[in-house]
Structure 1
Amino acid sequence: MYRLLIVDDEPVIANGLVQLLQDRQEFELDICKAYSADEALEIAQRTKLDILVSDIRMPKKNGLQLVDEIAYYWPSCRMIFLTGYSEFNYVYEAIRKNVDSYILKSEGVEPIFEAVRGAIVKLEEEHRSRLQQEKAQLHLRIVESLLKKELLESVLRGEELPALLREERYADLDFAIALDRPSFILIGYADQQEGITMKLLEAAGSIFGKLLPPSIGCEYTLYDGHLIVWFLQPNAELVDRLRDEADAAENGHRVVAYLRGVLERVQNECEEILDVSMSFGISGNIMNRWDQTREQVEMIRSLIRRRVQLGQRMVIVDYERTTDKSSIQIKLAGIQQDAFKKGLLDQIHRYIEEHLAGDLSLTAIAEEVHLNPSYLSRYYKQISGHNLIEYIKSFKLESAIAMMSDPHLKLNEIALRVGFDSPSYFATFFKKMTGKSPQEYRNLQ
């Protein structure tokens, strides 16, 4: 059933048309009426409209202006003008606005019926055409989706992407990854495999898709029953923004670091919304190294799975920063959970000691140990019994006190060595921790 709105500032005409159209059994219409353009707009803002029959000359806002407003809300609405004036300017403007019919009131009711009948025919034709297009597009999307899945699985089994894309079956595939630009592979793995369904993995993939910035192109597939694998490609603008002119080798890592920030949000939302803990692994830039795709994917998967088996959650493995990968894999394979936890604590403490004057944010430490920053804070407390931020503060204090025994070191220099750019901030920190200023404490030594 279609909805028709009659608009005329003369109630007799509006009510009469309502009655006449309701009496015509051939029309199955839900008929509304309005006595002004403003009243018609109120109806349009809350109700779908299919056909508009409107007078042109009305107070405040005329029918020509009303048509523009109605078309904004309901672009497919068919427009019929009904007027007592045969003026060229009105006719010309109506034609320009693509109005279906322009009828003089003096012509009687039959032209109105004919115009409504014609509008219904056009609506039905448009509806059939739209359904056919949607079915065709759906079919193409299904076929394209299957082809992409087939293509990506072939790459993950060891075939090279450039060779596959030259095959005729993939020639017309709308593939978002260009071979001549930086590209990365991302693997998603549910930390608790028991109870994980394809729907949950798809939901996690959907969260990632919503949080992925538009500056990164993406193709993905569910692989091997328990993995999500994405092929990612930053656009030229993002690559340029992240470019390090002084050290070109760092450019790939800058993209990965940016992706880590995205993954932190994805992990947190998967945990909050789906109650699923997800780990991820990111490859290096595989542009011109497509033959290494399978090797990197298998290594990343192995590293993630072993860390999860050793009790870690929300891992983020950075393939390029995992040096000497084969020996690490061997060590992880033979290590026990308690020894692994101790090794991780040693790694964190060593990083803090070596970077005391630098960046000791959760993000920096998490990147070093391949964990989500939020999870790192919880995990550190779980395995050590202490708060990581408090440990860093205590270590800074102990280091500063130890340095004070060297009379050649000025307090300003000590402040810099333990990560304080501002001497006054160092003094505030020191007094809060010890109850004395740095100088007072040094005088007592």
Structure 2
Amino acid sequence: MMYRLLVVDDEPIIVDGLIDLFSDASNGPELELYWAYSADDALKCLNTTRIDIVLTDIEMPEMNGLALQKEINARWPRCKVIFLTGYNDFNFIHASSRNGASDYVLKTEGDAQILAAVSKAVGKLDEDLAVQQMLRKAETQMSLALPLMQREFALDLLKGTVLLTDPLAGSQQLQELNIPLHAHQPLFMIMGRIDTWPSEMRQSDKMLLMYAVHNIAEEFLSDSFRMFHIKYGQDRFVWLLQSKSDDARENDETASEGIAQAANPLRQLNGYLELVQSACHQYLRIPCSFVLVSEAFGWNEISHKFDTLSFLFARGLGTRQEILLSDKQLVDAFQEQHDGRVKMRTVQLLDDYLEKGQRTEFFELYGAFMNLVEGGSVSKTGVAVEIFYSMVSMFITYINRWGLMKTVTDTFNLNLLFTIAEHATWQETTTHFQKLANLLFDETVSENEKQTNDVIWKVQDHIRDNLGGDLSLTRLAEIVYLSPSYLSKLYKQETGQSLKDFIIDCRVQKAKELLLQRDMKIHKVGRTVGFESAAYFTRCFKKMTQLSPQEFRDLKRP
């Protein structure tokens, strides 16, 4: 798992030197690096990005390191803070330790001690996710089991057969069922899926791992959210969550702007879900996918949000596993809205299989579904009519969604979808639908590739146009509405190159052009293309060209 390190100091030369130090992979674990030249800049970064380790100076103007530590704890409680200080003061050490500081290093101790402190912090982060602890907790929770009444109530919420219209009565009902949510506060929803199970796994082991996934999520989310887990399939689950910052606002209406900024639920959810996904992959050896709503909603919208996420869940880009998306990203990308509840759950599942390209699973379920009609006629039973037009609705919606109408009409007689009277027998209906489904499977494989390529091209164009600007993974992910970890994984899978390497390549190529201009100094060239440190610029340039910037200029310029 790659952690994020933020270096903070009001002396740029110290920040640049530390960034150079940690940029060298031989110096320790690979880290995603961020830097700030003031506490204010650090807070801006912390407000938009999950940070795992902060290495900060203690003495800074306007806000010192201890004050910054409190702000860090409010935003990312699990972040490890390491203080870089110029003096050995017992009172400072005591105060920082009491506030949860991970470590402190004297500036006079040198690079080795700084590297050791950061490596120690990485080790502590890994320990927090120790798989044995998670599984032991999962076994305890599994032995208690979910009470039948609680499960039935939760499933009724998702189906829309239960509505909490009265906050007072609703809160009482939630309390009686030991559900840790408040009926008067808005909700967030996350839909999760175990993408694949290890081979030959028993059902009891699957249940154990499902609980382990839930416990990992609780480890990360419980500091900032109350959450309730609903299992509704062999590999699916839903988390209903409420931000604890809402509690703070209710209890203190005069809360400072800093506290209000600290509680940005959607950013927190995105940041922590990256860690949940990575922990499941690293420690449980199972890939998980998540889709979450992009804004809080009321209790009477639970069923609608559940159906929306179910409908959109399979609309991932590129990889078919370890998806991490929001409904906003999907709606913006495909310019569509879910137009209501799916009437038949089986058809919805067939639609999911069609979207995910799971041809085998689709036709297994399709055969059983179509066999619900007995006899040869297609028009003598209500079941046949219902199934026919529900399948037609699914196909037409899918064709329009992917813009495949012309492609389909070139090879398939669409009149067969407009009226049931076009089919002489139910077997003929089954065969025609099967032919259409195979056609759609073939066509959407290429469409998925196009959508993925559009994301890659958009990111690359932005990088080339903003070499001297903010090209952090967080900023690039915002441009295409993806989580940072998913964008990084998608880009590497599709191009065979990391985003970091592509950015460096582009910066070095642009630097070559600028070095041929006589009036631009070398250090200014480096800063213009985004290298904050002259030493880092020289190292990257030489790695790519086998020449230093000065040697390149002397050799290439007449």
2:456 corresponds to which residue?
345
Structure 2 residue aligned with 1:299: 308
* TM-superposed deviation, 1:409: 6.1
**Which is greater in Rg?**
1
Does residue 343 of structure 2 align to residue 232 of structure 1?
no
Is the counterpart of residue 400 in structure 1 residue 499 in structure 2? no
Retained in 2: the 8 A contact 1:303–1:317? no
- Structure 1 residue 294, shift from structure 2 partner: 3.5
Q: Note the alpha carbon deviations across 1:311-370, whole angstroms, 9 max, x for none.
A: 332111133455536526835995534334423422332343355334434455456556
Give the Cα separation in 2 of the matches to 1:387 and 1:169. 50
SS in 2 for 1:306: coil
2:388 is the alignment partner of 1:388:
no
Contact 2:229 2:238 in 1 (8 A): yes
Q: State the SS of the aligned residue for 2:178.
A: coil
When residues 260 and 169 of structure 1 are mapped into structure 2, their CA distance, relative to the original with a 3 A threshold, is closer
Is 2:259 the counterpart of 1:148? no
Tell me what 2:322 maps to.
314
Is the contact made by 2:187 and 2:242 (CA closer than 8 Å) also made in structure 1? yes
Q: CA deviation at 1:394?
A: 0.5
Question: Cα distance, 1:229 vs. partner?
Answer: 0.7
Q: Distance in 2 between matches of 1:331 and 1:405?
A: 48
CA contact 2:189–2:239 (8 Å) conserved in 1: yes
Q: Aligned pair in 2 of structure 1 residues 381, 206: CA closer, same or farther (>3 Å)?
A: same
Q: SS of 1:276's equivalent?
A: coil
> Structure 1 vs Structure 2: percent identity of aligned residues?
26
- State the Cα deviation string for residues 47-98 of structure 1 (Å, max 9, x = none): xxxxxxxxxxxxxxxxxxxxxxxxxxxxxxxxxxxxxxxxxxxxxxxxxxxx
**8 A contact 1:431–1:438 mirrored in 2:** yes
TM-score of the superposition, structure 2-length normalised?
0.44
Partner of 2:231: 222
Report the CA distance shift for 1:215/1:264 in structure 2 as closer, same or farther (over 3 A): same
Question: What is the identity, as a one-letter code, of the residue corresponding to 1:352?
Answer: I
Does residue 357 of the first structure (1) align with residue 359 of the second (2)?
A: no
1:327 match: 335
Amino acid at match of 1:313: Q
Cα–Cα, structure 1 residues 375 and 322, in superposed 2: closer, same or farther, change >3 Å? Answer: closer
Contact preservation (8 Å) 1:183, 1:232:
yes
Mapped contact 2:316–2:325 kept (Cα < 8 A) = no
Aligned partner of 1:178 in structure 2 is 182
Q: Secondary structure at the match of 1:324?
A: helix
Matched residue SS, 1:268: helix
Change (3 A) 1:395 1:245: farther
Amino acid at match of 2:153: L
Matches within 5 A, 1:241-320: 245=257, 254-287=264-297, 289-307=298-316, 311-320=319-328
CA distance 1:338–1:320, change in 2 (3 Å): closer
What is the deviation of 1:238?
9.6
User: How has the CA–CA distance of structure 1 residues 391 and 214 changed in structure 2, closer, same or farther, with 3 Å as cutoff?
Assistant: same
Counterpart CA distance in 1 for 2:311 and 2:522 is 48
After TM superposition, give the deviation of residue 209 of structure 1 in Å. Answer: 2.5
Q: Distance in 2 between matches of 1:352 and 1:431?
A: 21
Say whether the 8 Å CA contact 1:215–1:238 is kept in structure 2: no
Q: What secondary structure is seen at the aligned counterpart in 2 of 1:360?
A: coil
The answer to whether the Cα contact below 8 Å between 1:204 and 1:270 also exists between their aligned partners in 2 is yes
Q: Give distance in 1, aligned partners of 2:524 and 2:162.
A: 55
- List aligned pairs for 1:157-196, cutoff 5 A: 157-158=159-160, 162-163=164-165, 166=169, 170=174, 172-181=176-185, 183-192=187-196
3-state DSSP class of the match of 1:305? coil
Number of positions where the alignment pairs a residue of Structure 1 with one of Structure 2: 299
Deviation at 1:219, TM superposition (A): 0.8
SS state at 2:335 partner? helix
Q: Cα–Cα, structure 1 residues 426 and 160, in superposed 2: closer, same or farther, change >3 Å? A: farther
In the TM superposition, residue 154 of structure 1 has moved relative to its aligned partner by 2.8
- What's 2:7 paired with? none
Counterpart Cα distance in 2 of 1:193 and 1:268: 16
CA 223–338 in structure 1, closer or farther in 2 if over 3 Å, else same:
same
CA distance in 2, matches of 1:255, 1:271: 24
Partners of 2:191 and 2:303 in 1: how far apart?
12
Aligned partners of 1:286 and 1:292 also within 8 Å: no
Output the amino acid matched with 2:180. Answer: A
Query: What amino acid maps onto 1:324 in structure 2?
Result: D
Displacement of 1:266: 1.8
Q: Go from structure 1 to structure 2 and tell me whether the alpha carbon gap of 1:301 and 1:431 turns closer, same or farther (over 3 Å shift).
A: same
Aligned: 1:204 with 2:233: no
1:231-274, Cα deviation, whole Å (9 max, x unpaired): 1223239978xx9959x8x877x422222332222222222333
Structure 2: runs of 5+ lacking an equivalent: 1-140, 250-254, 338-400, 405-443
C-alpha RMSD over aligned residues: 4.2
For 1:179 and 1:230, locate their aligned partners in 2 and report how far apart those are by CA, in whole Å. Answer: 16
Secondary structure of the structure 2 residue equivalent to 1:269:
helix
> Retained in 2: the 8 A contact 1:221–1:228?
yes
Per-residue Cα deviation, 1:17-51 (whole angstroms, up to 9, x for no partner): xxxxxxxxxxxxxxxxxxxxxxxxxxxxxxxxxxx
